């Protein structure tokens, strides 16, 4: 077996890591002290053994339900719908939102063959059916897929008689929410508008 080629192939599985970067990472690992490289490998194993999705909100967590879903001081009447766990992290950093989350794990994207059944949308509808939400904030990304997803979710939830909002304009179009700076994200959130 060609150990180096194998490592490069494995590293290039990461989204956004091309062949060149995978090569660089592989040679970096080769030069690294054995113990350091082993602790990277160990961290990957530990994450895979211990981190799962929360059965309520689908955020990543070590305990199920997650600490946000079980926190006694959070507002159970507001639900913020996001695409990725990293978006939850971005909102939590701003401290602008004290409600519950729902992580869709993606966005509807016909071009990429991602349909409503491929994201945690049915799970969201079930939560809204049994929950007592006053407001649902559709904080999907400000790009074509994110907008289309927000529109679709809005339609699916329109019969529940719950207020549905979307963070205000001001977030840069095409940029993923997780990359927005905290001030921009807070302002967009505070200025959210009815859909
Ligand atoms: Zn949760």
Here the CATH number for the domain that contains residue 110 is 3.40.1360.10
Ligand 1 centroid, distance to 130 Cα (angstroms): 16
- In sequence order, the 6+-apart residues with CB closer than 8 A to the CB of 75 are 98, 99, 100
Ligand 1 centroid, distance to 78 Cα (angstroms): 14
**End-to-end alpha carbon distance in the chain:** 57
Is 55 within the bounds of a domain? no
pTM, 2 dp: 0.82
CA-to-CA dists, residue 176 to 89, 104, 142, angstroms: 13, 14, 7
Ligand 1 centroid, distance to 107 Cα (angstroms): 19
**What local confidence, expressed as pLDDT, does residue 51 receive?**
94
Ligand 1 centroid, distance to 62 Cα (angstroms): 10
- Shared domain for 139 and 100, answered yes or no, is yes
How many other C-beta atoms can be found within 10 angstroms of the C-beta atom of residue 19? 11
Number of H helices, E strands in the chain: 8, 7
Mean pLDDT of the region 57-73: 96
Range of the domain at 9: 3-45
CA-to-CA dists, residue 81 to 124, 135, 153, angstroms: 9, 11, 10
Ligand 1 centroid, distance to 56 Cα (angstroms): 5
Ligand 1 centroid, distance to 23 Cα (angstroms): 37
Q: In total, how many domains does the chain have? A: 2
pLDDT digits (tens, 9 = 90+) for 126-156: 999 998 899 999 999 989 999 999 999 999 9
- Shared domain for 160 and 78, answered yes or no, is yes
Strand (E) or helix (H) holding 82: strand 78-82
How many other C-beta atoms can be found within 10 angstroms of the C-beta atom of residue 77? 13
Is 16 within the bounds of a domain? yes
* Cβ atoms of residues 125 and 157 within 8 Å: yes
Here the CATH number for the domain that contains residue 10 is 1.10.8.420
Q: Which of 7-21, 24-38, 110-124, 159-173 has the lowest mean pLDDT?
A: 159-173
Ligand 1 centroid, distance to 60 Cα (angstroms): 8
- Shared domain for 39 and 78, answered yes or no, is no
């Amino acid at each position: 077996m060609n150990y180096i080629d194998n490592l490069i192939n494995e590293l290039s599985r990461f989204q956004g890591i091309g062949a060149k970067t995978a090569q660089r990472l592989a040679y970096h690992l080769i030069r690294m002290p054995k113990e350091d490289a082993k602790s990277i490998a160990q961290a990957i194993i530990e994450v895979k053994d211990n981190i799962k999705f929360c059965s309520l909100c689908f955020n990543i967590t070590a305990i199920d339900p997650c600490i946000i879903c079980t926190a006694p001081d959070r507002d159970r009447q507001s639900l913020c719908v996001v695409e990725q766990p990293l978006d939850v992290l971005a909102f939590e950093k701003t401290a602008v939102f004290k409600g519950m989350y729902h992580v869709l794990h993606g966005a509807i994207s016909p071009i990429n063959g991602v349909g409503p059944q491929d994201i945690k949308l049915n799970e969201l509808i079930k939560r809204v059916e049994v929950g007592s939400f006053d407001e649902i904030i559709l904080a999907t990304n400000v790009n074509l897929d994110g907008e289309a997803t927000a529109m679709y979710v809005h339609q699916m939830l329109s019969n529940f008689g719950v207020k549905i909002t979307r963070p205000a304009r001001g977030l840069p179009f095409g940029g993923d929410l997780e990359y927005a700076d905290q001030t921009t994200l807070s302002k967009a959130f505070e200025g959210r508008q009815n859909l």
